[in-house]
Amino acid sequence: MATELRPDLVVMDVKMPKMDGISAAEKLHHGRIAPVLLLTAFSQKELVERASEAGVVAYIVKPFTPADLLPAVEIALSRGAELRALEAEVADMSERFETRKIVDIAKGILNEKMGLTEPEAFRWIQKASMDRRLTMKDVALTIIDQLGAKQS
């Protein structure tokens, strides 16, 4: 159900009929579906550690009052937002790193085939990117495809 609805937060008990809450939390965490706040009557250290390893963002022990639950929900929502922001940042950094590697390969090809220095090759790719309204990565991939394939 959470997979289809994509909630901001899943609140569930450790003890559930078909699957224990920690296993369910782990699936939700690994699938990047939603952060999980786990409710339980158990506070054993091993259970808390297992929940933490499964990606649970908040853990509240029964019995609790509504006043106890609200801060836990707020913290869980905040942690979930932080995790999403970090994942987005990592994805962006990975993409920039990949682009940089591709541009570096293209600069090497321009150096070898056209005799351009590293700064000249970078500027050439940058200008071609602006002139053609393409990303630098796309220009670099074209250079690699067109000029790099002719290497012998």
The residue ranges of every structural domain in the chain are 2-64, 93-150
Contact 109/102 with Cβ under 8 angstroms? no
Q: Which residue has the higher pLDDT, 2 or 29?
A: 29
In sequence order, the 6+-apart residues with CB closer than 8 A to the CB of 34 are: 2, 6, 7, 8, 9, 10, 28, 80
Residue 151 has pLDDT above 60, yes or no: no
pLDDT tens, 87-135? Answer: 999 999 999 999 999 999 999 999 999 999 999 999 999 999 999 999 9
Indicate if the alpha-carbon torsion angle 68, 74, 78, 80 is positive or negative.
Answer: positive
Backbone angles phi, psi at 60, to 5 degrees: -130, 135
Q: Does the predicted TM-score (pTM) go above 0.75? A: no
Task: Select 93-150's CATH number: 3.30.429.10, 1.10.287.3240, 1.10.10.10, 2.60.40.720.
Answer: 1.10.10.10
Task: Work out the percent of the chain whose per-residue pLDDT is above 70.
Answer: 95
- At 110 the pLDDT is 95
For residues 17 and 1, the model is more confident at 17
Using the predicted structure, report yes or no on whether residue 74 has a pLDDT greater than 80.
yes
Average pLDDT, the chain: 90
152 band by pLDDT with thresholds 50, 70 and 90: very low
For 2-64, the fitting CATH number among 3.40.50.2300, 3.40.50.300, 3.90.1150.30, 3.40.50.10860 is: 3.40.50.2300
Mean pLDDT of 28-47: 88
Q: Do residues 73 and 48 lie in contact, with contact meaning Cβ atoms separated by under 8 Å? A: no
Count how many residues are written for the chain. 152
pLDDT > 60? residue 70: yes
What is the pLDDT confidence band of residue 2, given thresholds at 50, 70 and 90?
A: low
